[in-house]
Amino acid sequence: MADDDYAELVLTVVERIPPGRVMSYGAIAEYLGRGGPRQVGAVMSHYGGGVPWHRVVAANGRLVPGHEQEALRRHRQEGTPLKSDKVDMRRAVWWPEDDPAPLP
C-alpha cells in the first residue's frame, strides 16, 4: 500500500527536523509534493508516536492540539523560538534544504 509509504516518508521528514526548529503540516505536504496538510496531520496522529511530533506545528504557529502542554515544555527545553504559547514561525520555520543533513 502506498499510504504506508507515505506515512514513512512523513515520519522521515519529521525526524529530520533539527532541534529548535519546526515545520508546518502544509510545509511537509508541499515538500513531499503530494497529499495535503490534513494527510500529514492524519499520519502524525496515527503513526507519529515515534518521532519528534512536537516539532510539527500548524502554519499559524499553533502547537499540536491535545498536547500543547507537552510540546510547549519540550520546545522551551530545546530553545525553540516561542511566542508565549505559540511558536515564532518567522525564526523557527525550517526547510530541509535549509540544512542539508548528510544522509548515510
Partner DNA sequence: GGAATGACGATAA
Partner DNA sequence: ATTATCGCCATTC
User: Is the CB of residue 37 less than 8 Å from the CB of residue 25?
Assistant: yes
The minimum distance between CB 104 and DNA, in angstroms, equals: 26
Residues in the site for DNA, rule: CB under 7 A?
2-3, 24-27, 34-42, 44-45, 48-49, 53, 56, 58-60, 64-67
Closest to DNA by CB, 83 vs 104, is: 83
Closest to DNA by CB, 33 vs 79, is: 33
Residue 20's region, left for phi above 0, alpha for psi from -120 to 50, else beta, is: left
* DSSP letter (8 states) at residue 53: G
The minimum distance between CB 5 and DNA, in angstroms, equals: 10
User: Is the CB of residue 53 less than 8 Å from the CB of residue 46?
Assistant: no
